Amino acid sequence: MKERPERKTEKHRRNRALLWQFLKGSKALYAVSILSAGITALADMAEPQVIRMAVDNALGGKEAAYSKPVMAVADALGGFAYLGRHIWIMAIGILCIALVRVFSQYIFRVSNTKASETLVKNMRDQLFSHIERLPFSWHMKNHTGDIIQRCTSDVDTLRNFVSEQLTSVFRIVLLVALSLSFMLSMNPKLTLISFLPLPVILVYSLIFYRKVGEGFLDCDENEGKLSDMVQENLTGVRVVRAFGAERREKERFEAQNEYYTGLWVKLGKILSLYWSSQDILSGVQMLLVVVFGAAFCISEEMTSGEYIAFLAYNTMLIWPVRMLGRMITEMSKAGVSIGRIEEIMAAEEERDRPGAIEPPLNGDICFEHVSFSYENGPEILHDISFTVKAGSTLGIIAGTGMGKSTLMYLLDRMMELPDGHGRITIGGVDIRNIKTAWLRKNIGFVMQEPFLFSRTIAENIAIATPNAGLEEIRTASRAACLDETVSSFSKGYDTFVGERGVTLSGGQKQRVAIARTLISATPIMIFDDSLSAVDTETDARIRAELELRFGTASIFLISHRITTLSRADKILVLDNGRISQEGTHEELIRQDGVYREIYEIQSGIREEAV
């Protein structure tokens, strides 16, 4: 479907605004590099004129007819006749021009490199900062590999375009304008001949612009898919090997890689056709200038010096025209990249409501008629209402996919409860009116799948409390029944756990995650099936420590294990997104229902009856 013109214009406007935002801190450096490029262009223009004067006027004795400033300089040096007898003076002039060119090129490279690195740093910083503040729902819809690809490959593509192409625009315009001016002053007919192929070059450059843009977008998107596949396989390498799926994953990767390679080969053919045809036209243009220029020299319509200078300017003219064509194709790539980056930057960040507050969060927690569904999905929670008294423990049990974790995501506002779908209050305050950072700071959350960073055990435990000392870390570890295990490691709490905690067992990772939550001593703690990988004895010890050390906290225990929930003040049983049973352990085992069935299976009563 073709994009509407007004939407396309608005998209270009947003892309330009985003690029201007990224350029903060590097604009002055780019200005210096552009100015240096302009000085280089002027030096390039001056050198053929000096050679022309040397050949025609100093050595050839032709009467000079240049501008007043040029004639003033020549007279100050003794006139062209004198310069002809002392040609070394003009050689020194050319050397001086070369030195100016070298110095200006050096300034260009240094300032352009600094500007380029500042630009890419700003892009990375702003992207990372923005992604960190995007809601959990956004991360659920976007693949990690594709996000990484946009933050690396697309950032580099944009950086290269700005630093290598846009900074050359001023120099290109200056070269074209001055070359055309000098060439017209020397021979208008030859100038017209030299310009004949140029409109053709520009027209087909615009045609290739669209083709290159479409091809690069396909390549970019499929590179994201390939990156996502690699990321998933590297993080899930143990699962792949456990199921002997190496060959299947290898075949999947090779198929995607072959398709991705084919896209680049196809794009390469388009670019090869573009550049080779441009080379042919440029060669034809150069040939026309050489042949007709020689003819004009023979017919004395041009002097030897003018011919030499004209060839130099023509060579200079071909370069900017070729660069302009290259710029058009690179602009197509950069347009795709800035568009993909803008899609991330345009995603709405988590924002607090106006007047959001930081109330005490040690009050009663109430869910009032809460219903929820994920985007474009069926309703998962149906009219959920319950209250957790401050300092009490609530147990939740249900089958897989019944909404247990979703309830906790809503409480922590990782998923936003829409208006009109009930409300959740803490101490009588709707959580939507509480500052998000304050809410999460006061809720400790141990998730189903504990995530550990590639750092030491101590750093993982203290990640939310970076100023915690070793004794505080050990206290939290003792409560999580982890201290004894860690002490047996040769490096203790300085043990490096590897990516995603790969060097630790499942139970050890869960206990590190529990210690990480306990060290913060938050007034609300959520344990989302976080004791599933520990044995029953360790489970009991951790629950006893929770009661002893954190009795004032409101605790949510989600588990499939009845023994984990048995000492909770109240237990909820969810069935198909609704509360089917509610009560203490003793009350629930006396009732007919799911809870008693699970209890009898886990305790072996049902097997004994059989």
Longest dimension (CA), the chain: 124
Query: What integer pLDDT is reported at residue 502 of this predicted model?
Result: 67
Distance of alpha carbon 523 from alpha carbon 439, whole angstroms: 10
Q: What is the DSSP string of 319-382?
A: HHHHHHHHHHHHHHHHHHHHHHHHHHHHSPPP-PPTT-B-----S-EEEEEEEEE-TTS-EEEE
Distance of alpha carbon 111 from alpha carbon 167, whole angstroms: 11
β-sheet bridge partners, residue 496? 456
Helix axes 188-195, 169-186, angle to 10 degrees: 140
Query: What integer pLDDT is reported at residue 422 of this predicted model?
Result: 92
Question: Are β-strands 524-528 and 443-446 bridged in parallel, bridged antiparallel, or unpaired?
Answer: parallel
The 10 Å Cβ neighbour count of residue 55 is 18
Instruction: Return the structure tokens found at 230.
Output: 């690699």
Q: Which residues contact 371 (CB under 8 A, 6 or more apart)?
A: 379, 381, 382, 383, 384, 421, 422
Q: Of 81, 78, 82, 80, which Cα lies nearest the Cα of 50? A: 80
Query: What integer pLDDT is reported at residue 1 of this predicted model?
Result: 44
Is 574 in a helix, a strand, or coil? Answer: strand
Q: How many CA atoms lie within 13 A of 225 on its CB side?
A: 16
The CA-based angle 196-198-199, given to 5 degrees, is 90
Please check whether residue 443 is in contact with residue 520, taking contact to mean a CB–CB distance below 8 angstroms. Answer: no
Question: Are β-strands 554-558 and 570-575 bridged in parallel, bridged antiparallel, or unpaired?
Answer: unpaired
Please check whether residue 305 is in contact with residue 54, taking contact to mean a CB–CB distance below 8 angstroms. Answer: yes
Q: Which helix (H) or strand (E) holds 431?
A: none
Query: What integer pLDDT is reported at residue 434 of this predicted model?
Result: 92
Query: What integer pLDDT is reported at residue 461 of this predicted model?
Result: 85
Q: What is the DSSP string of 43-76?
A: HHHHHHHHHHHIIIIIIT-PPP---HHHHHHHHH
Helix axes 5-22, 304-346, angle to 10 degrees: 100
pLDDT in tens, 488-533: 888 888 888 866 666 777 778 888 888 888 888 888 988 887 776 6
Query: What integer pLDDT is reported at residue 367 of this predicted model?
Result: 93
Is 245 in a helix, a strand, or coil? Answer: coil
Distance of alpha carbon 232 from alpha carbon 78, whole angstroms: 77
Whose tokens are 């935002």? That residue is 21
| pLDDT beneath 50: ranges in the chain | 1, 607-610
| Verdict on whether the full-model pTM lies above 0.75 | no
Domains by residue range for the chain, with CATH: 5-346 (1.20.1560.10), 355-442+523-539+551-610 (3.40.50.300), 448-521 (3.40.50.300)
Query: C-alpha distances in angstroms, 567 versus 186, 393, 528, 610?
Result: 99, 8, 16, 28
Query: What integer pLDDT is reported at residue 489 of this predicted model?
Result: 85
Instruction: Return the structure tokens found at 197.
Output: 């192929």
Distance of alpha carbon 421 from alpha carbon 212, whole angstroms: 48
Q: What is the DSSP string of 213-241?
A: HHHHHHHHHHHHHHHHHHHHHHHTHHHHH
Whose tokens are 């106006």? That residue is 354
Query: What integer pLDDT is reported at residue 456 of this predicted model?
Result: 86
Please check whether residue 493 is in contact with residue 470, taking contact to mean a CB–CB distance below 8 angstroms. Answer: yes
The CA-based angle 390-393-398, given to 5 degrees, is 130
Distance of alpha carbon 226 from alpha carbon 149, whole angstroms: 9
Distance of alpha carbon 529 from alpha carbon 496, whole angstroms: 25
Is 558 in a helix, a strand, or coil? Answer: strand
The 10 Å Cβ neighbour count of residue 202 is 13
Phi, psi (rounded to 5 degrees) for 531: -115, 15
Query: What integer pLDDT is reported at residue 609 of this predicted model?
Result: 46
Q: Please provide the average confidence, as pLDDT, over all residues in the chain.
A: 81
